[in-house]
Amino acid sequence: MIPERSAVSNVLITGITSCESRGVEALARSIIEQLNTEGPGGGDNVTVLTQTPVLDAESLAPTSARCVADPFVVSRSWQQMRPQESPAELAERREQLFAQTDLVIATGGDLHTSDYGVSTPYLRVLTAAQQRDIPTAMIGQSVGPFDDPADAEAWLAVASRCDLLTVRESVSLNYLVGKLGLPEHRVRLSSDPAFLLPAATGERTAAVLGPLGLAPEDPYLCLAPSQGITRFSTLEESQHAAALTRLATSLVRTRKMPVVLVPHCHDSRPHNDDRILAARIAEAAGMPEVMALPGALTASDYKGVLSQAELVISERLHAAIGALSGGAPAIAIGHSHKFNGVLAETYGHTVDVDGIHADVRAFAQNATVIGRIVNDTDATVLRTTLRQRLPLIADRARSDFAQINKLLGA
């Protein structure tokens, strides 16, 4: 039984880069809203460490969370979107934050891998908290693989001292226990917190789709392209965009439904801004049925659109999660084990992982992959399986917050 808490706690959330990515927004908002639900009265006092504090304060305003520039990780690529501070000023802010922190929660999905080169920097706040005997939790993680043994050792040092550690898929669980040697009792299988994100209302979703000429009863498909995915493969941007255009036009011709392009990341850095790629695909397709979703939409807005689609094909994992968590079948085009891991965990063992995930290199270079996606994906079977599995997946995510509540209650 979970002890009831009478006192409001001060919670620090780390692993947030920027809510420019609606996947990051989905993670942050889901965690904060669960804390507000589990906590006493109006919820806990939550502070979010981020690279874009002003933007994120606006994105997360409905949650009443406080957003501050991360004093532990200062990203050069976002330096124009945060205050300029000296090392002494950063150090002072770190101490001020810890003086009023009861728990540090690390999210971030897959920050702790060699793909992005930021795993060890994002451990700093956890290490510092543990040195001060402040409880720490890492939830809904995908971890590894690590190319550098030093990164693996640094991660293990922090993980072994966490009060709660959960992963969102079995691939990471097997890697941690089987490859890195983490004791099995130190880690638990859970789900991505974004499975708990509420979708926009039906009325709001209708208003979002209206400018595209779609009424609530109209069937449509969604394609969520990633402008940044080619940075993690050997693909040329033009090759990638051409493959996505072929996919979109083939879907329209074969499935007889419009394709809505969903730019899930509105990055201020062009190399990662999905709006650029979505516009490029819509123009290249030359078909009115292939159209990019416009506007500065929230993660919940996108979930409303994705969850009403007949089928979603996504290069952004959290766009896929937005669909899946809303009951819409989704398949992924990805570059790492996080994609097939999360989708395989969501659908369960009765669905062949090869039918719900394609590697982005094979997708762009092998024409048969597009044909398989367009012709062989059985959305009805996936939807039926998904609806049977969703209660378990959501319960796993909620169980993390039951454990967090126990930590704070203690």
Spatial strand order of the sheet with 103-106 comes to 66-69, 45-50, 10-14, 103-106, 136-141, 164-167, 188-189
- Distance (Å, whole) CA 193 – CA 216: 28
Please list, in sequence order, all residues whose beta carbon lies within 8 angstroms of the beta carbon of residue 300, skipping any fewer than 6 positions away: 29, 197, 198, 199, 200
Read off the tokens for 229: 């995915």
- Distance (Å, whole) CA 43 – CA 40: 5
Question: Which pLDDT tens digit goes with each residue over 198-211?
Answer: 999 999 999 999 99
Whole-number pLDDT of residue 7:
64
Question: Which pLDDT tens digit goes with each residue over 153-206?
Answer: 999 999 999 999 999 999 999 999 999 999 999 999 999 999 999 999 999 999
Question: Which pLDDT tens digit goes with each residue over 380-398?
Answer: 999 999 999 999 999 999 9
Q: What average pLDDT does this structure show over 70-76? A: 93
Q: What is the pTM assigned to this prediction?
A: 0.94
- Distance (Å, whole) CA 41 – CA 292: 42
State the average pLDDT for the chain: 92
Looking at the predicted structure, is the pLDDT value of residue 6 above 50? no
Whole-number pLDDT of residue 409:
83
Question: Which pLDDT tens digit goes with each residue over 357-368?
Answer: 999 999 999 989
Question: Which pLDDT tens digit goes with each residue over 74-131?
Answer: 988 888 889 999 999 999 999 999 999 999 999 967 778 766 666 788 999 999 999 9
Looking at the predicted structure, is the pLDDT value of residue 330 above 70? yes
